[in-house]
Chains A and B, each alone.
Chain A
Amino acid sequence: MIPDHEQVPAGLQSVSCDLVAHAAVHLPLSAVADLRRQPGPPGIVSLPPTLLKHADEQTVVGLSAILHAIAAHGLQDVSFTDWGVLAAPRLLARSTMIVSLQRFLAEGAWGVSPHVIPHRSLHSPSGTVSHALKIHGPNFGVGGGAEGAVELLLAAVAMLERRQLPGLWLMWTGQEPEGEMDLAGQGDPNTICRGLAVALTPGRPQATGLRLHVEVNPLPVQASIPENPWLSDYFYLETLLSRLGPAREPHRKVGQDLTGGVRVELEWAHRSHGSTNGTAVRAAAVERAHSTPGAEIQR
């Protein structure tokens, strides 16, 4: 028997968060090795010396983006202890797995590195970042394929809406082009490794700064098979930030429809007595963290 339809709670399908920091890193894959020792601007964090030794290139670039975001938005003194971190790497560890599988075929079980599972799995980038930033809130990986870009946003804003976390770091990473590789795990020498880091805090209507709105269509959205998910823009949020531009015109808004009935919008929200420079963003982050139970700010 099909039960009568029950209305979903009205007005709850849209979630708003404050975007308090962001940075993008685009690097040739060959340059990632140097990042392992110094992934971000000096003085941001002190990393355990071996933390990135076995990490995937995407993990390194994603962490680098976070550290640049911290530096660019003046969050060096903010403690992220109670924050969470979510990461959406795209086809993580493909190159490593090519090599690992060839070794397995040649040498059998003893040829398989014990580092693949802990350091090159979907949970690894967020786990590594939690270690680097001393984050004791939740950490997990999202997606793994081309659709992970939207999945990450959904998972994150749902968590923030509960208002139990002072903030969340989000990290999108991938290689472009995601092209053919040989049996040694080598691909196009011009491959770029990309990382986008965004810090979100629960939305506060009176705050000045970048605001992110995510809407989920409350009506059923028919499933359609994507022709080629690789053609969609994995780094759509970076594109939107770029479209919004540095002008910070009050209430200027840009948006994009994503898959699955999800729409994302970015807005420069303006409070008349608030300043519009980076100081306001930093102060807002600190103020928000202060007002959230359990947050620790060392300032």
Chain B
Amino acid sequence: MSHHGGVWITGVGTATPLGHTYAAFADELLAGRSGVDRVTGFDVTDHPSQIGGQVHQVPCPLGDDPDAFSALPRLEQLTRWCCVSALRDAGWWEGRGERRVGLVLGLGAEWLMKWEADTLRGGRTILDPQDGVESLVSRTRHYLGLTGPAVSVSAACASGNYALAQAKQWLELGWVDLCVAGACDMAVRPMSLAGFGNLRALSRRNAEPKAASRPFDKGRDGFVVGEGGAVFVLERAATARRRGAKVYAEVAGFGASSDAFNMVIPSPHPEPAIAAVRQALADAQLNPAEVDYINAHATGTPVGDIAETRVLSTVLGDAVSQVPISSTKSMTGHLLTAAAAVEALACVVAMERSALPPTINLHDPDPECNLCHVANEARPARVKVAVSDSFGFGGSNTCLVLKAV
């Protein structure tokens, strides 16, 4: 517990390739279904990777005008849906204007995405930035009618963990009464598919989309781009307890470090990543042996999965053969900026449903990724402590610890 009695998750909102509600996401995740398919939103014939985990249509939040909603950029639709769903789920939607509510969102490519969509439609926004100048986090704050501070953060694929850590800090500082925090990304776009494809980071298993994302498997050949988001409502335990709120988990610990090695490739020296995981466990006042489940970053790249195995093997020590580990990217694809937030949600699912989500497509485990895999099928288990690793371009290493309440 923190010095302030803890920070609890009391609401969730999500849209992913596995579904647009928490229940749908949980059902699909535990059924071991892949949300990856051939990309349909644009022509992919000259892209090296032609597959992705797509969110085809973001639902319009209750009370919004459907026509106006459909005219919004897709990332803004997603952000609105996730935030509104989380506030409604927490029971704060009606009362949000009476409290100081903060907003921390992981949004990594907001401007690149906006310029891309506009240019491909024949627009000129990128040439004259005086048009449409308000940032998405600011627009979302106004749309939601929130009265606390708002910040967007980006550490590439680790952004969601930083967002949750910031929100926890704001609550502990007393800056806000509650905080809406998470991350969203709509990365199945022509430029990102081309950019990551030309970086040779993506799977080219175009003929078998549902088998393409295969973390820890010997046959892995890169990651599959996914899109979606997860947003949480965080509040101090005292607040949640007083109002008898439904509680998903405690945000118990966070750790972060930088490789200072390369902007793309994980460091061959695992010490910084090990330090991040150890910091998170220390922050939560837990020993490695107390961990019931680890949601690995494991994207399915040949180098990254092995690097993470070294990190987890070192941190867990003797417990490495007993602590179950899975990569839910095998089902969602890699949601990039939103990955850490959605994987925190997968940890919540494991706690709430008492079941471990699997790594699907894991038929021939890489001997260099010798971990206690939850392979191909969900497994019943009581999960009181869940850990989520997330690493990112720029050498970012983060780790989040969630505890059942």
Interface residues of A (CB under 8 A from B): 1-6, 8-10, 12-13, 15, 84-85, 91-94, 97-98, 100-101, 104-105, 108-114, 116-124, 126-128, 130-131, 133-148, 151, 154-155, 158-159, 161-162, 178-183, 216, 218-226, 228-230, 260-262
Contacts and interface: CB of A to CB of B under 8 A. Distances in A.
Contacts of B242: 3-4, 6
A94 B155 CA distance: 19
Which residue of A6, A135, A228, A229 has the most chain B CB atoms within 10 A of its CB atom?
A: A6
A121 B46 CA distance: 24
A139 B258 CA distance: 6
B151 A154 contact: yes
Given A137-B258, A140-B162, A220-B99, A225 B173 contact: no
Nearest to B195: A117
Given A2-B95, A84-B256, A98-B126, 8 more contacts: A97-B116, A101-B115, A104-B190, A142-B154, A144-B135, A180-B128, A216-B175, A260-B150
A109 B152 contact: no
Best-surrounded residue of B174, B258, B262 (most CB of chain A within 10 A)? B258
Contacts of B153: 140-142, 155
Contact of B100 (A108, A109, A126, A220): A220
Given A3-B243, A97-B112, A127-B395, A147 B138 contact: yes
A112 B199 CA distance: 10
Interface string B131-153: 00111011001100111111111
Contacts of B40: none
B206 interface: no
Interface string B74-110: 0000000000000000010011011110000001111
A218 B170 CA distance: 11
B100 to A, nearest CB: 5
B135 A5 contact: no
B190 A5 contact: no
B71 to A, nearest CB: 18
Contacts of A225: 134, 142
Contacts, number: 280
Contact of B195 (A84, A114, A123, A223): A114
A161 B238 contact: no
B173 A104 contact: no
Nearest to A146: B133
Given A101-B191, A136-B258, A143-B135, A108 B46 contact: yes
Contacts of A131: 260-263, 395
B199 to A, nearest CB: 4
Contacts of B28: none
The CB with the most chain B CB atoms within 10 A, among A9, A110, A220, is that of A220
Given A6-B238, A13-B175, A110-B198, A222 B147 contact: yes
B133 to A, nearest CB: 6
Contacts of B190: 104, 109
B134 A127 contact: no
B4 interface: yes
B100 A140 contact: no
A110 B193 CA distance: 11
A101 B116 contact: yes
B394 interface: yes
